[in-house]
């Protein structure tokens, strides 16, 4: 899971995604992934204190990668 979160944040930083956009992507790809912005901030590698569902993180990763290919 930590590896997925690191990948997600690397892409988010590379593409300029804000935490609100990550939250929106998560909800769009998995309705049960309705985590707060504060929760998503707690997934950063330096201070990981929250671990969302792995499907939510994979959904965000996939959405960011597909969005950049379009």
Closest CA to 56 of 30, 28, 24: 30
Is residue 70 predicted with pLDDT exceeding 80? Answer: no
* Distance (Å, whole) CA 37 – CA 8: 15
For the chain, give the number of residues.
70
Q: Are 61 and 9 in contact (CB under 8 A)?
A: no
For residue 25, CA distances in Å to 9, 38, 42 come to: 13, 15, 17
Instruction: Give the pLDDT mean for 11-35.
Output: 92
Percent pLDDT > 70 in the chain is 96
Task: Say what the pLDDT of residue 68 is.
Answer: 62
- Hey, is 17 helix, strand or coil? coil
């Amino acid at each position: 899971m930590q590896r997925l979160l690191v990948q997600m944040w690397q892409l988010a930083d590379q593409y300029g995604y804000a935490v609100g956009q990550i939250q929106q992507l998560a909800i769009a790809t998995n309705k049960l992934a309705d985590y707060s912005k504060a929760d998503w901030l707690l997934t950063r590698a330096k201070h990981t204190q929250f671990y969302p569902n792995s499907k939510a993180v994979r959904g965000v990763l996939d959405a960011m990668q597909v969005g950049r290919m379009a």
